[in-house]
Structures are given as C-alpha cells and as structure tokens.
Amino acid sequence: MEELNLKYLKLYESLFPVAATYVKRRGGNLDNAKDIFQDALTIYHEQIISGRVEPDNERGYIMGITKHLWFKQHAHDKRWEDFDDYEAEMHSTVEEYLQPVPNKILSYLEKTGKKCLQLLQAFYYRGDSLSSIAREFGFSGTRSATVQKYKCLEKVRTKLKKEEVQYADFFE
C-alpha cells in the first residue's frame, strides 16, 4: 500500500504542474486545476483497479483525462463551442506537452557544464544506455558513466539548493 501511495505521489508531483498550466492557460485557476487533476487521478486509479487500462503510458493517459475533464467543465460553462476551435486548441496543447525541457530547467542544466549537459541529455532525453554513454564519452566502463551522471545531477541539485529554487518556480 505504501508503494502505491508513493507511486501516486510521484505522479502528482510530476504531472500536476503540467495540468495546472494547462487549466490556467484555458481560463481556469489553481482550485479548478486541483479539482480536475484530483478527479483525473481518481478515474485513472479506478480504471487500473477494474483492469480496463494497463498502466503502460500513465503520464499520457492521466493528462488525457485531465484535458477531457477540463473541456467538459469548460464546455458546460460555454455551452456551444465550435469544434474546429477545440481541435486546434487540443493540437496546440499536445505540442506544448511534448515540448522538451522548459527553458528554466535547461538553464540550470547548462550551468553544470557542457559535458554534464551532454551526458544528461544522452541518458534522459535520448534514452541511451549507460554502456553506450561510457563508450561515447570515453569512460572506462558503465560504472564510471553511472558515477559521472550522479555527479552531474548533484551539481544541479547543489545549484538549485544554493539559489533556493522551489519546484513551482519552473512552472509559471
């Protein structure tokens, strides 16, 4: 049960800022975002428990539910909205969601140095294995690549702590 709670806490921490930004850009406020996102997580959990959904792309599924719920609520308020406008809006939000790392995060990653930035991009963005990263960067082995990746992440964490940056600062 504790593992399940931890899983949902991580989902909440990683997706709520995205959902809140989505709702805010479409005329909602923080309370709307909290309500919509809580409902989306509840629906997702019920779908998993009932066996109707396999949790293979939970980020996309939860964001899809969030967008659907917001549209339902927003459409209820506006009653008659042109479908073409909605389709264009959904297309733009998908593009926003698929955008790479926000500029603020990228600026902190760049402060770690070019080699660290390249290493972190190779691992997290391109999805390269640690063994291929070791070869690419000339490390003696996978273990060395792992240690170097850890050191790069620690540089980012140290800079964030030093500047007292909060999680919410990245999602304005």
Element containing residue 119 per DSSP (H, E): helix 114-120
Is the CB of residue 44 less than 8 Å from the CB of residue 61? yes
pLDDT 10s digits, 18-71: 888 888 888 888 888 888 888 888 888 888 888 777 767 788 888 888 888 888
DSSP string for residues in 50-102:
HTSS-TTSHHHHHHHHHHHHHHHHHHHHH----HHHHHHHHHHHHHHHT--S-
User: Which pLDDT does position 76 carry in this prediction?
Assistant: 57
Average pLDDT over residues 110-116: 83
Average pLDDT over residues 160-164: 77
Query: Quick one: which of 143, 141, 146, 153 has its CA closest to 117?
Result: 153
pTM attached to this predicted model: 0.44
Q: Which amino acid is at 161?
A: K
Is the CB of residue 66 less than 8 Å from the CB of residue 22? yes
Phi-psi region of 138 (alpha: psi -120 to 50; beta: other; left: phi over 0): left
Q: Which amino acid is at 23?
A: V
Is the CB of residue 10 less than 8 Å from the CB of residue 40? no
pLDDT 10s digits, 59-105: 888 888 888 888 888 765 554 445 555 555 555 554 554 454 456 66
Instruction: Say whether pLDDT at 155 is over 60.
Output: yes
Residue 134 binned pLDDT confidence (cut-offs 50, 70, 90): very high
What is the spatial distance between Cα 20 and Cα 34, in angstroms, rounded to a whole number?
7
CB crowding 79-88: b at 16 or more within 10 Å, else e? eeeeeeeeee
Distance from chain centroid for Cα 1: 24
